[in-house]
Structures are given as structure tokens and as C-alpha cells.
Amino acid sequence: MDDGHRDEISPRRRVRDPHHGGGRLLEGDRRTGRVRGRAERSHPAGGRREVVVTPGSANGATNGVILARSVSKPLERARTSGGVAQAASLAAEAAALRTRVEMSLRQQGFRLTEGGLLSTPPLDKEHIRELHAQARHARIERARSGLQRHESRLLRYFARGDEVEPERIRPRLEEVVAKTEGELLFRYARLHWSIPVSAGYGRRLRFLVFDEHTEKLIGLLGLTDPVFHLGPRDSWIGWDGRTHRERLRHVMDAFVLGAVPPYSYLLCGKLVAMLATSRDVRAAFARRYGSSTSLITNRRFAGELALITTISALGRSSLYNRVRAAGRPVFISVGTTSGSGSFHFSNDVYANLLSYAREHCTPSAKNEGWGNGWRSRRDLVRAVLPRIGLPRELVYHGVKREVFVAPLARNTGEFLRGETDELDPHPESAAELFEEFRERWLLPRAARDQRYRDFDPESLRLWGR
């Protein structure tokens, strides 16, 4: 590597392979500067790793860069069985995908360090939005075929600013039913979030929040199965291995939560956060999932929802700050994520990774009842990266998000730790929670900020007429 000065290439240059435990030495050629010989080690996928050292380029752009190439099982088999043409084809496929991944990461604003890891730009909220821009645009384009023809009609569910009368707002929670107009509206509205919003997976409850006065959309609430391991949540609960496995079914994660304009100008995102903890949502969960059998524990489930978690979209969040109900905090900040995930692979390059995984990787779902695919996008990405010569650590994007928990009962912690089997839920209805929001947030905001009056739903149009 270049450390500020350039050594003359000796006739027999010897370079230590940093990826090979004991450091096998490689020999270089004075005339070409290219390493002769390969260093190999076993590969977690069952193949091996080759390390090649290149000299500095003529223009000084690179100096002695060490390139590590993972040789996957298919390529290894092709070589050992004498299939030279097949091996060349597999190597070309991996190299082409590696180039696409690296180019995509750079276009999003990431830099690749000499160690093959990501270096992120400054992470204020605007930069985080920029990092997500490609993935968001890709998701909008994927939705075009199913939603564009409905766009003009769906926009009529969004209020004009001059239609909203803050003192007459009355929220109504409406559960989304599959293959209905409500589902189309939910899918369309979530495309307007500043970062890509998933569709949820596993168990899923979706709600539209309407203003009964205008019959226009206030916001969205979507709940889905939580991730199995989430350090800040698990530490706050105090789980051990057994209770974690048995009681995780009493937790749901909010994969989308917030308000749409013009109601967002009136802090109605806080309203949606409060409604998520209402007894109306708990009742909907019990109706949908009570008396079901868990795929993980194979036990019957009475349908008690004890906790909702959510992770902020843009690092630290102000949406949940100071939101209280009956004197208690509604959402509690319990820490931050480690800064890993797959959003930076969620643009068009993900389709390429998926295609490669289907051909060369073993899916990670370990229970037939969970399906025969991948447990998560992150699992798929981590499986493919080393097979195309990139480190798994590229899933660490550096965007650390704030983790919040919303206890839905007075004894949520004790219940989730298995210290009691009787949940003592908070009693407030959606209507009662709205009254607290109305006096604390809505009316004071409307009195001092009139921007909501200028909103035009046409500004939300995604694809043109």
C-alpha cells in the first residue's frame, strides 16, 4: 500500500497476505510487478480465497493494492473438475456483480476503504435521506406498474390544506384488508416516506388513520413481526434465552408510523404514535392472531400484545419525544442500532444479488413453516458478498438508528420475562388518547403554525398525469 513514498520493485518482491492466517508470502516479478503464485485459505462457503497484489498504476492512482477474491463452491468445483470454460463464466459473473455493487455504493455516497469496508459521509438527517435516495426511487419505480393507473384517484384521499379544521379533527382507525382500495391507498401513501418503507413480513397489521370530519387520510400505522435479536430491546426487557424464545410473540414492530401532509404539519405523527398503543390496536391484534399456533414454539397463542418497538428512520428521532398518555411516556428510547442492514443494497442491485443467491447460495430459513427463502434481505446480502469477492462487513452502513419501545401494559417487563402470565394492559382507547393529543399538541400547533393551509395534494404526485 502507499504510505507516502514508493519503494522500487525488487526482482523478487515478497508480499504478505493479510487474509491468510500465518501470512503466506507471495512473490512478485520485477518486469510486470505482478505477483506470481496464490495464497489460499478455506472459505466459509466451502471454497477458498485467492489474494493478488497489483503494482501502482502508471498514473499513481493505486499503489500495491491487495485484492482478495473469494472463490465460491461452484467456481471451485468447476476448476477441480476441469471445466475451464465454466469456471471462467462463473468468475466473470462474480466480477460483473462485484463491479455493480461497488458502483452502486459509490453512487449512494459511500466510499470503499482500502480494507474493503464502507466509509460513510457525515450523518445528519439530510445526508441520511440522500443515502436512501436511490433505494427510495427504485421502490417507487417497482410500484409504478401496480399503482400509477390509480394515482389520480388515490390522491383524492389527501386533504387540501384549506379543508382541514384543526378544532374539528376526529381520527378513525381503519384496519387494512388485503386486495381492497384501502390496501392500494396504504401502499401508495408509504411511497412518500423520505426513506424506503418495507411491506412488513410474517404477522402483519396495517391501519389507515382518517379524519372523520374531512374523510381524508391523516397517517399510516403498520405493525409486523419483530426481528429476533435487537440488543437495546432485549436488554431493556431483561430476557434470557428461554423467555426470549417463548415471549417474543407478544411483541410487534412498527415498520411504518407517521402522518401525511397536511396533517403532518400539525404534529399528527405524534397522534399516530399514541394511537398505536391504544386498546383498539390490541383488540385488532387479538382478533387476528388469538388462538393461533406459533411457528417458532408450536404453542397456542391467546393474542396478548405487550410491547411495540420501532426504530427511527433518520438516526435520532423527535417524533416520539415528550409524547405522554395518562402521565406516562408512550415511547421510551432504549439505545441505538449497530449501524448494519441492507438498505444500501435495496436499489436495483438487490435484484442482481437475489438472482445470484438463487443460483449459488443456500437459503437461510431453517424451518419449513417459515418458507423456503431467506430470513431477511440482510442474510441474503451477507451470503452473496463473499462469493463475489467482497467482505460481509459491507452490511455495516454506519447509520445508527434510535430504538424505541412502547409498553402496552403496566407490567410489560414482568410479563415478557415470564414472571407473570397475567398482562395488565393500559386501558386508554383511541378516542381518549386523541383528547390528550388535541389539548397538548394539536391546538397549540395550529394556533402558531399555519403552513398546513397551503398544502396541495398534487405536490405528492409521483408519476405525472
Are residues 303 and 204 both part of a single domain? yes
Query: Cα–Cα distance between 265 and 271 in angstroms, integer?
Result: 12
171 within some domain: yes
Domain final position from 27, 46, 71 = 71
% pLDDT > 70, the chain: 73
Are residues 194 and 318 both part of a single domain? yes
Are residues 310 and 176 both part of a single domain? yes
Residues contacting residue 422 through CB under 8 Å, at least 6 positions apart: 411, 415
Q: Across residues 243-264, what is the average pLDDT? A: 95
Using alpha carbons only, give the angle 289, 334, 258 rounded to the nearest 5 degrees.
Answer: 60
Are residues 131 and 212 both part of a single domain? yes
287 within some domain: yes
**Lowest model confidence (mean pLDDT) among 6-15, 69-78, 358-367, 399-408:** 6-15
Query: Cα–Cα distance between 224 and 253 in angstroms, integer?
Result: 5
- Look up residue 120 and give its three cell numbers: 460513510
**Lowest model confidence (mean pLDDT) among 147-156, 176-185, 362-371:** 362-371
383 within some domain: no
Nearest Cα neighbor of 202 from 335, 320, 92, 296 is 296
Half-sphere exposure of 355 (CA within 13 A, CB side): 8
Question: What is the DSSP secondary-structure string of 178-205?
Answer: TTSHHHHHHHHHHTTSSS------SSEE
Total domains, the chain: 2
Residues contacting residue 388 through CB under 8 Å, at least 6 positions apart: 70, 94, 95, 97, 98, 101, 356
pLDDT at 322 over 50: yes
Are residues 195 and 324 both part of a single domain? yes
24 within some domain: yes
> Strands 171-175 and 204-211: what pairing?
antiparallel
**Amino acid at the residue 178:** A
Query: Cα–Cα distance between 137 and 462 in angstroms, integer?
Result: 10
321 within some domain: yes
Q: What pLDDT does 295 receive? A: 60
Q: Phi and psi (nearest 5°) for 193?
A: -65, 150
Q: Across residues 266-287, what is the average pLDDT? A: 97
In this prediction the pTM is 0.73
Are residues 44 and 142 both part of a single domain? no
Q: Predicted confidence band at 318 (pLDDT cuts at 50, 70, 90)?
A: confident
Are residues 239 and 327 both part of a single domain? yes
394 within some domain: no
Q: What pLDDT does 47 receive? A: 45
Query: Cα–Cα distance between 407 and 414 in angstroms, integer?
Result: 11
Q: What pLDDT does 131 receive? A: 66
89 within some domain: no
pLDDT at 385 over 90: yes
Which H/E stretch holds residue 288?
helix 279-289
Domain final position from 71, 88, 110 = 71
Q: Decide: 416 and 247 in contact? Cβ < 8 Å.
A: yes
Would you call the peptide bond into 262 cis, given omega within 30 degrees of 0 as the criterion?
Answer: yes
**Lowest model confidence (mean pLDDT) among 45-49, 77-81, 130-134:** 45-49
Q: Predicted confidence band at 335 (pLDDT cuts at 50, 70, 90)?
A: very high
**Lowest model confidence (mean pLDDT) among 187-191, 270-274, 294-298, 423-427:** 294-298
Q: Phi and psi (nearest 5°) for 294?
A: -70, 135
Are residues 311 and 178 both part of a single domain? yes
Of residues 122 and 203, more confidently modeled: 203
Q: Predicted confidence band at 320 (pLDDT cuts at 50, 70, 90)?
A: confident
Are residues 323 and 223 both part of a single domain? yes
Q: What pLDDT does 450 receive? A: 96
Domain final position from 45, 71, 97 = 71
Q: Cell 400547533: give the residue.
A: 445
Q: What pLDDT does 172 receive? A: 98
Are residues 51 and 196 both part of a single domain? no
Are residues 145 and 50 both part of a single domain? no
Q: Decide: 465 and 309 in contact? Cβ < 8 Å.
A: no
Q: What pLDDT does 340 receive? A: 76
Q: What pLDDT does 80 receive? A: 55
pLDDT at 421 over 70: yes
Query: Cα–Cα distance between 240 and 311 in angstroms, integer?
Result: 22
**Lowest model confidence (mean pLDDT) among 122-126, 275-279, 323-327, 459-463:** 122-126
Q: Cell 402483519: give the residue.
A: 204
Q: Phi and psi (nearest 5°) for 216?
A: -110, 160
Q: Predicted confidence band at 2 (pLDDT cuts at 50, 70, 90)?
A: very low
Of residues 83 and 164, more confidently modeled: 164
242 within some domain: yes
Which residue range(s) make up the domain with 143?
Answer: 125-340+399-460
Instruction: Produce one character per residue of 359-385: b if its CB has 16 or more CB atoms within 10 Å, e if not.
Output: ebbeebeeeeeeeeebbbbbbbbbbbb
Are residues 289 and 220 both part of a single domain? yes
Q: Across residues 71-95, what is the average pLDDT? A: 69
Q: What pLDDT does 275 receive? A: 98
- Look up residue 385 and give its three cell numbers: 458478498
